[in-house]
Amino acid sequence: MSTRRAITGTVVPASGGEWALSRRQLLQRTACGFGHLALLAMLNGNAAAAPHDFSSEANPLQMRPPQFGGRARRVIFLFMHGGVSHLDTFDPKPELDRMDGKPLPFDRPRQFAQTGNLLRSPWSFNRYGESGLPVSTLLPHVGSVIDEICLIRSMHVEQVDHGGAILQLHTGSAVFPRPSVGAWISYGLGAENEDLPAFVTIAPPMMHGAQQNYGSSFLPTCFQGTAIGDFKTPMTKAKISNLQRAEPTDRLQRMQLDFIQDANRSHLAGSPPESRLEARIESFELAFRMQAEAPDVLDLSHETPATQRLYGIGGGATDNFGRQCLLARRLIERGVRFVQCSHSYKWDQHSNLRAGHEGNAREVDLPIAGLVTDLKQRGLLDDTLVVWGTEFGRTPVCEGPGDGRDHNPYGFTMWLAGGGVRGGIAYGETDELGYKAVKDRVSMYDLHATVLHLLGIDHTRLTYRYNGRDFRLTDVHGEVVHQIMA
C-alpha cells in the first residue's frame, strides 16, 4: 500500500487505498501557510522600495541609477594608514608655534602614552593657488592643486586606537562587523562595466581590521572589494589572484565553467534562496570576463612616458604609490565604481616625527597631485570624487623626550576633491592648538553621509534588512555637509 505523508507527519486513510488529509485537516494545518502566502504577496508588492532585486536571474552588480542627481559617479579613496599629523600638513597653528615647549594649558584627554609639552611643527606653511590655502612644505605638489581641494579640518572619531578608528573610517562602525563603504556604494549603484568588479582595493592593509576594511559583511559577497596585491607587495609584482586562466583556450575554460555553473544552478533551483550561492554563481561569471578584460587594465605600459612621470613612476620613492594612483585612474575610467589606494602603515610617528613624515610625504605627494591633475585634464574630475583620509590626527604635545606625537581622534583633517565639491576652501576648525574640533565639527557618519549624497544616494534610504532590522552605513547618525558642495 502506498502512502502520502502530510506536512505534520500525520497520515489518514482515504478511498482507493491512498492516505491523505481531510478537507478540514488540510485547512487547519495550512492556515499558517495561507498567511505566509499573503505575507509573500505583501513583500513582493513592496519590492519596488528595495534598492534592487537579488533573485538568481538578476545580476546584482548591474548598473543602477542614483536616487537623485548626484554630481559624482565614482570614488577614489586615498588611505594614509597610521594617522597623519594634521598639524604638520594642512592645519597650521600660530599659537602652537608661540607656545612651543610649554605645558598643555588644559586637561589632556586619555591617550596611550605619557606625553610632554607642546611641540610646534618642524615645517613651515606656504600659501598656494588662487585660494591661498596654507599647506605644509611637506606637500608642495599637493599644494599646487589646492584649488581643487576642500579641506575638512574638523574631523573627529570615537576611537583612540588604530583598529577601531580604521574600522569606523572604512565601515562606519568601530565595534561591530559591518559592510565597508565600497561595498555599500557597490550595493547601491552597481558597476558600470560588467567585465570588471564594482569595488577594487589596491594594496590593502592586512592589519587593523584587515579584510573587514573592504568586506561585505552581511551584504551579498559579490559587493566585497577585489584585492590587488597587499601592503607588503611592491606594485610591480601586485596582481589579482587567479587571474591567469587554467585552460589553454577560452572555449575550454567556458566549457569547464558551464559544467560547474549548471551544477550550481541545479542545486540553487531545488533549495531555498541562498544569496551566497547566487553570489558565487555571478562571481564565477565575472571572474571569467575579468580574465579577458583585467590584464589590459593592469598593464601600465600602455601609458605615455609623460603620464608615468606625472605620477612619479620610475622616480624611486614615488614609484610604488604612483603606480597605485595611476591604476586607480585606469580602473575608474573603465567603469569601476569605488577604488581604494592604501599607503602602508608608516604614518604612526610616536617618535621620529620629522624623519617619518618626511619619508612618507616624499612617497605620496607627487602621485596624489598627479592623480588630481590627470583626472582634471581628462575631464574625469567633475564626476570622480577623490577622498584623502587617515584614521585620526596627532596631538600638539610631544610624546616622551623625542619629537613624536600621540594619537588624536578629537580633531584632524581629511580632504575631498572633484565630484561636486567646492575646491579651494577649508571647512571647520580645531582649537588654537589643534587638539579638538570646535567649529563645524564633522563626524565620520557625516563624512559618509556626504560622500553618498555626492553620489546621488540618500544615506537614510540606502538600507539592507538583516536579522530583523534595517541597517545602513551611517546607522542612526549622519548629517550631509551641504556647505562644501559646489
The three-state DSSP-derived secondary structure of 224-248 is CCEEECCCCCCCCCCCCCCCCCCCC
pLDDT value, residue 208: 84
| CA dist., res. 120 & res. 96, Å (int) | 6
- Can you give the pTM of this predicted structure? 0.83
User: Cell 547566487 maps to which residue?
Assistant: 278
Give domain limits for the chain. Answer: 15-49, 74-484
- What is the per-residue pLDDT for 44? 38
Instruction: Indicate the DSSP class of residue 107.
Output: P
pLDDT of amino acid 297:
86
Question: What pLDDT, on a 0 to 100 scale, did the predictor assign at position 269?
Answer: 77
- The pLDDT-based confidence of 324 (bands split at 50, 70, 90) is very high
pLDDT digits (tens, 9 = 90+) for 111-158: 666 678 999 999 999 999 999 999 999 999 999 999 999 999 999 999
Kindly report, residue by residue over 397-411, the tens digit of the pLDDT.
998 777 899 999 999
| Dihedral angle sign, alpha carbons of residues 134, 140, 142, 143 | positive
CATH 3.20.10.10 fits domain 74-484 = no
- Which one is predicted more confidently, 287 or 309? 309
**For position 288, what pLDDT does the model report?**
58
Would you tell me how many other CB atoms lie within 10 Å of the CB of residue 13?
A: 11
For 351-379, the pLDDT digits (tens) are 999 999 999 999 999 999 999 999 999 99
Q: For 204, phi and psi rounded to 5 degrees?
A: -70, 150
**Mean pLDDT confidence for 166-188:** 95
What pLDDT does residue 3 have? 36
What kind and span of H or E run contains 357?
A: helix 353-377
**Residue 234: its pLDDT value, please?**
81
Grid coordinates representing 218? 552581511
Report whether pLDDT(305) > 50.
yes
For residue 218, which of 39, 450, 476, 469 has the smallest C-alpha distance?
A: 469
The answer on pLDDT for 247 being more than 70 is no
Rounded to the nearest integer, the mean pLDDT of the chain is 84
The residue type of 251 is: R
In this prediction, residue 248 carries a pLDDT of 59
Residue 335: left if φ>0, alpha if ψ -120 to 50, beta else—which one?
left
Judge whether residue 12 has pLDDT over 50.
no
pLDDT average, residue stretch 184-195? 92
Cα 155 from chain centroid (whole Å): 17
Query: What does the pLDDT read at residue 485?
Result: 98
| Span 65-92, average pLDDT | 97
Q: Please determine, for residue 22, whether its predicted confidence score (pLDDT) is greater than 60.
A: no
Say if residue 420's pLDDT is above 50.
yes
What is residue 275's predicted lDDT score, i.e. its pLDDT?
63
Share of the chain above pLDDT 90, in %: 64
Per-residue pLDDT at 49 exceeds 50 = no
pLDDT above 50 (res 53): no
Q: State which H helix or E strand residue 167 sits in.
A: helix 162-171
Residue that the C-alpha cell 589590459 belongs to? 296
Banded model confidence at residue 61, pLDDT cuts 50, 70, 90 = confident
